[in-house]
Structure 1
Amino acid sequence: MRANSLAFRLVVGAAMWIAAAIVAGGIVLSAVFRDHVERSFDTQLLVYLDVLVSVTEVDDRGHVVIMRPLGDPRYEQPYSGWYWQISSISGPMLRSRSLWDQALTPDFGLIRDSAATSYRMQGAQSRHLRIVGRDVSIPGIVSSLQFAVTGDRAAIEVEIQNFNTTLAWSLGLFGCGLVLAVFIQVRFGLLPLRRISRALSAIRSGRKSRLAGQFPSEIEPLASEINTLLEHNEEVLERARTHVGNLAHALKTPISILANESESGKGSLAEKVDKQTGIMRRYVDHYLSQARTAASSSVLGARTEVLPVIEDLRRTLKHIHAERSIELEVRGDPGTSFRGERHDLEEMLGNLIDNACKWARARTWITMGMEGADLKIVIEDDGPGLAPEKHGEVFNRGHRLDEATPGSGLGLAIVRDTAGLYGGDIALCESDFGGLKVVLTLPAAEKREAQEAGKESTEEDPVT
């Protein structure tokens, strides 16, 4: 999943919201639990406070006495944090054994009327205490007494800490589960877009001509617009081909008339007309071919197997050069295909192989294969070769290095222009066999095995 992908943005955005919600929820739950624990703790202390009040009496001598213990051994254990104390305005009167030689110093200002009040305070040995107190009037005592009962907050702090730890692990796992669920949902929800991507790849490689299948209602308009665009593109290209054909017919007819008239005539004027009509015919053929190629290179889905084209050209050229007994050897991967129109491949290879046969002494080699996403076709001969400083000149239109050899001088220029329209290239170098080596690079189409696998994958993928 790439950082700039739609899936990455959706998952990261959802993860951020989930993390924020979980943190906020964890804080709220922890606060609610803390309040609940403190209330429960205060309720327990209030019970001890009521028991303390109930067991407090005044004896015959007017002294405040405790009739019986509270029943919790922690009030007997020194410095346990669980204390009770009865105080008057003048100071402590009675206190639990757990206080030992210490005394509680509650804020009597918070103990008013007869209501129980709870708050935090610092106790003996720096213990953090939770204290509840009440101002109680006892018969036989002129002024009211302050009853206070404390409990060690360490007990509730441990309980709260355990809860927070469990809460953190639980919410963490819950958040990871939600993020995983969002990831799965996003991947599943974006399956139709990946299907469109594969379908477009199938159209470009020639497996299909349209986006086929059922798509979700949100994607259906996009698929429909793409199909409409493909149909419009085909219509425009078909009209362009028709206009090119009409133009070819309109130009070739008068040129043919001029050529016929010049052949029947005599003199320097007839020779000039014949020469110029020949030049006109070559350039018309060249630029009409370029126009057809420009239209063909824009067609999506064009695919041509290379081996059948080479075999057809080999049979034709062996017949043309039969008197020289030129051998044409074909090597390489027979499954390679060109992503383009057949007649363009025929024109490029026809020019190159014909040139190789013209200059070869006895043999020409044709090697085809894949190199990444490119199709490489190498044509070599055992002829005299070509000096490196002449490699650039042969691509000039109408330029011929040897006037004795038949040709128009446009062949290599046509091959270079046609290959360039397809995003390809042509290069010349010295062959290991002594002659010239021509390397033609063109866009490759997928092999049949990959196409069938891609087709099955596309058909099996869910789209809704």
Structure 2
Amino acid sequence: MWTILGLVIGGFVLSGLFRTSVESDFDARLRFDLEGMIAAAEPGPAGQVTLRGRFTDPRFERVYSGWYWQITPEGKDAGESQISRSLWDHTIAPTNTVTRNGVQWSRGIGPENQHLHIVSRHVEFPITDTPSTKDTRSYRFLVASDSTQLEAEVARFNTTLLWSFALLGIGLIGGIFVQVRVGLVPLRRLRIALARIRDGKARQLDGRFPAEIAPLATELNALIEHNAEVVARARTHVSNLAHFLKTPLTVISNEASAHPGPLADAVTKQVGTMRRQVDHYLARARVAGAVSTIGNRTDVMPVIADLARVLRRIHAERGVEIAIDGADALCFRGERQDLEEMVGNLMDNACKWAKGRVAVSAAGMPGAMLEIVVGDDGPGLSLEELSRIGERGERLDESVPGTGLGLAIVRDIARLYGGSLSLGRSSLGGFEARLALPAII
């Protein structure tokens, strides 16, 4: 935009300068002809004026040529004007006269409505056939030219200028476009490299970059490495915290078991609650660190297949059949351990309640998301039970092994990844869980 604006302003400036130059030359020619005509004037004894033959110019001889001269007597001796042949039977009446540098500049209308540019001058000649030597006769010498010629010259220049600047503008815009495209190639490569890291296809920015971009690539690599180190340290601290908390809880639980009684039962119950809460919040802390790590990706179907294989062995005595379905290309934007924990909880829960069939399917969703659906043919849940299930520590059947934290942990992990968990009734007749997670397209 600034380039076009600069060209437009430059065009107006050049056009104005050219017009000024042409008008100056035009005025100089008119004044030159006026001075030549005055020099060729030859006064007679009575003060009358005639032009010597040396003031002959074909322009003033051709009728309505656009170049004219006129000599007009002034004062008390005013009479008929002498005119050039080119005026034929017309005379010129100047208007809007302005005096500049000793001559008068005017405008006027000539033959065939020509717009004339006029220069004139008053000249007095002595009368020699009278006794007084102070008697003079005044004349107005006038030279005029059709300004259409000037305007045509300016118009030709403006047309040439317009085409030249148009071609120059197109060339400049094209050059700028090419320069920007070429100049942004390293940034596009950098963007593609960052996308590969985000999608888990690379760990760092690889490749050579120009000197101007190389420091940015170096800083980004350092930032990615620092982020990974921070997450690794956080996981170490979480692991240490789990160890430090679980060991005293185990000691307290063992001491309570060694001294049966109401107090021991209360201690054992509270220790169990503390363990569940510790497990829950430690899992959330670990996942929060994992989510902030750039470049994690996990193939979905291999994880589901591995979990199905393990759960078939665990529930072999009950003969639970686990059917899986999904596209091999599905990728979860996150860590394998988190996907295993979420899907494993859902599949294990389905196997515990199923009569004999569990169905697991995975599919892509709009908005770079994927959905994993786990359903069973168990007894299912009522609307009231569906509203209660998923709360931390909420168990609907104490006879089934578990802590009551599975669905709560799944929901928390899914939310940390920007996903969701919804519960309902399966097409198999039992319970169904739908897990939505971010995907890598």
TM-score by length of 1: 0.81
Partner of 2:158: 164
Please point out which of 326, 341, 344 is paired with 1:347.
341
Please point out which of 394, 398, 407 is paired with 2:393.
398
Q: Which moved more, 1:381-390 or 1:144-153?
A: 144-153
Higher relative contact order (CA closer than 8 Å, sequence separation 6+): 1
Q: Which moved more, 1:68-77 or 1:283-292?
A: 68-77
1:176-187 mapped onto 2 (5 Å cutoff): 176-187=170-181
Q: Which amino acid aligns with 2:301?
A: L
In structure 2, relative to structure 1, the CA distance for the partners of 1:392 and 1:139 (3 Å cut) is: same
Mapped pair 1:85 → 2:70: yes
Partner of 1:409: 404
Mapped pair 1:104 → 2:98: no
1:235-271: CA deviations, max 9, x gaps?
Answer: 2222221121112222222333344444455444444
1:311-333: CA deviations, max 9, x gaps?
Answer: 11111100011112211111121
CA contact (8 A) 1:112 1:135 kept: no
Task: Give the distance between the partners of 1:102 and 1:334, measured in 2 at CA.
Answer: 99
Q: Which amino acid aligns with 1:161?
A: A
Task: Give the distance between the partners of 1:341 and 1:256, measured in 2 at CA.
Answer: 30
Displacement of 1:40 after TM fit? 3.9
Mapped pair 1:432 → 2:432: no
1:328-353: CA deviations, max 9, x gaps?
Answer: 11112111111111111111111100
Partner of 2:219: 225
Q: Which moved more, 1:378-387 or 1:411-420?
A: 378-387
In structure 2, relative to structure 1, the CA distance for the partners of 1:139 and 1:112 (3 Å cut) is: farther
Structure 1 residue runs of 5 or longer lacking an equivalent are: 1-14, 447-464
Mapped pair 1:308 → 2:302: yes
Partner of 1:367: 361
In structure 2, relative to structure 1, the CA distance for the partners of 1:63 and 1:285 (3 Å cut) is: closer
Q: Which moved more, 1:254-263 or 1:62-71?
A: 62-71
CA contact (8 A) 1:111 1:133 kept: no
CA contact (8 A) 2:94 2:106 kept: no
CA contact (8 A) 1:81 1:127 kept: yes
Displacement of 1:164 after TM fit? 1.9
In structure 2, relative to structure 1, the CA distance for the partners of 1:47 and 1:414 (3 Å cut) is: same
Seq. identity, %: 48
SS at the partner of 1:324? coil
Task: Give the distance between the partners of 1:437 and 1:228, measured in 2 at CA.
Answer: 44
Please point out which of 323, 329, 335 is paired with 2:329.
335
Q: Which amino acid aligns with 1:424?
A: G
Please point out which of 13, 23, 35 is paired with 1:38.
23
Task: Give the distance between the partners of 1:304 and 1:111, measured in 2 at CA.
Answer: 90
In structure 2, relative to structure 1, the CA distance for the partners of 1:61 and 1:20 (3 Å cut) is: same
Task: Give the distance between the partners of 2:375 and 2:98, measured in 1 at CA.
Answer: 109
Displacement of 1:404 after TM fit? 2.1
* CA RMSD between the two structures: 3.2
Q: Which amino acid aligns with 1:83?
A: Y
Partner of 2:12: 27
In structure 2, relative to structure 1, the CA distance for the partners of 1:266 and 1:121 (3 Å cut) is: closer
TM-score by length of 2: 0.84
Task: Give the distance between the partners of 2:48 and 2:252, measured in 1 at CA.
Answer: 146
In structure 2, relative to structure 1, the CA distance for the partners of 1:29 and 1:269 (3 Å cut) is: closer
Task: Give the distance between the partners of 1:199 and 1:405, measured in 2 at CA.
Answer: 49
Please point out which of 98, 117, 120 is paired with 1:130.
117
Displacement of 1:278 after TM fit? 3.2
SS at the partner of 1:104? coil
Partner of 2:132: none
CA contact (8 A) 1:84 1:95 kept: yes
Task: Give the distance between the partners of 2:246 and 2:109, measured in 1 at CA.
Answer: 114
Q: Which amino acid aligns with 1:82?
A: W
Partner of 1:320: 314
